[in-house]
Amino acid sequence: LPVGATKLQFRQGAKVLKELAVSPNKPVVALSGITAGTTMTGTTKLTWTATDADGDALHTVVEYSPDNGTTWDVLEEDLTAKTADIDWSELSGAGANKSLVRILVTDGINTTIATSPAFTVATSKPEVFIDEPQANDTFEKGEDILFDGEGFDDLDGELVGGSIKWESDKDGVIG
pLDDT tens for each residue of 26-35: 999 999 989 9
Q: Amino acid identity of 44? A: T
Q: Please give the Cα distance from 31 to 50 (Å, whole number).
A: 9
> What's the pTM value of the predicted model, to 2 decimals?
0.71
**Helix, strand or coil, per DSSP, at residue 104:** strand
pLDDT tens for each residue of 33-43: 899 999 998 89
What does the pLDDT read at residue 154?
Answer: 64
pLDDT tens for each residue of 68-82: 999 999 999 998 889
Q: Please give the Cα distance from 55 to 28 (Å, whole number).
A: 12
Q: Please give the Cα distance from 24 to 81 (Å, whole number).
A: 23
* Full DSSP string of 52-83: -TT----EEEEEEESSTTSS-EEEEEEE-SSE
